Structure 1
């Protein structure tokens, strides 16, 4: 028997550029579907006319109304997918995700405290509060997860993040419940959704998303070096602490801005990077843009599914991503435990 028959060659991955182009095409199709699907279906003629800016019929007007929602879902999904990939690279933790590590709930808690206790009502201030909350929470979880022997292991970080997430969610409820004047709007926002999106809200968060994207892309090569281990990365001339801080800043900007616009949406940053690695490997120069496209596609698909499942009403996108992400999280944990054994 030949050596090739005993040791078959590993299955080749599709070309990376082809995968990215296919992902971009899929996101475009999902965006069109998001604009067309709703309580009232939109035909092709009205869809094209609405995209051209016309609003002469009900269908064309529906397209105009749905465009901001579609844009926000794509941007927030891309931000969360990219943020998750960065966090997994920075911590070398396959369970890292803005939701699981409590960062989204930390951002939400900061916004709620600002609204309830300090009377902050300007939407432009929500972004700063969310980013501040995300940054403080990220530092807190990493510090707690680093305590004890072995430093910040994946399991300790996941446990610290899960505990922090639950605690901050409870604190948010404790702040909101006595305030009947803000409870309705805050509770809806807490679930996580893109309904009621406006271009004004998108313009408010867009500079932070673009800044996070730029820093993330500049950090791709550094994340590849960090994956080799701190000692080896330092030996190759990389400033490890600075590289980790810059990448973490990108993740905080992305997740904080997305949370400010949509509320805390979980599991996107967990599911998408794992799928991107299966298709493209571990090189962050390809993994990061693939995670951004995958996150945009996942959130668009989840938003469409939420409209179809509960039609003529709708299910918030945060609920749909939780239904998708929870089984994937369990699978990743079980897979990680098998590897450690």
Structure 2
């Protein structure tokens, strides 16, 4: 059994000293104090239970045992470095490819801006974009099928012990109505006035689904849902066609301003989504994720809290 006093760090100090053969120069090279270097070398001798050096004045002269350890320690450190690199590659750490999960609605503005900024930071990086519902993306991140996700964290149960969350912006929820509706975009919409109307909903697991359910619980009735769809663009296409009404985040407003009426909800039903970047805390030092997090912070700084 290898003694606990023998560590990779101490072996690295030993290798540096065997190259420099001077305590002060070794300390300067490693960014340590001379005392720390001397302590590491002495601790190695204790762990090996044999002397490695003899003292000659202030210098330590290597014994034959030190030359033997030098040969093996060099191989050990080299193999461990290769092992660390191989392990990181297997885990996707520092690869030239980043798998990013996102909500469909974020592909309109947020994702393009993040990608452009990210490519400036890491031009060699290839980005694979995966779109899905909030829950699907969370599951894929947990299964390590994605490196990071952009989701609504308002109602999501994200374990802060395992994941970092970086909020980008907040978004209000609106009532979306067909363009030919007689509703006015001035004022607010009381959902109780829509008891007899048809509605379209996203399927369970999507960010807006939970808010949809909660809003109608407050209104005191079950909406007449004509159909449930699996992406926000299909849902708005059905609203455009006059199939029914729905609830939608304000970030969709710019694209559908001329074809869909978006009316703020009355105070009892008002909701706000928080859109955040989420990634595993254990990968916080991955250079790709560091670049993505930095770009997300820049986005958050330039993106004031929305109440569209």
Provide the TM-score with structure 2 as the length reference: 0.23
Bigger strand fraction: 2
Provide the TM-score with structure 1 as the length reference: 0.22
| Higher Cα Rg, which structure | 2
Bigger helix fraction: 1
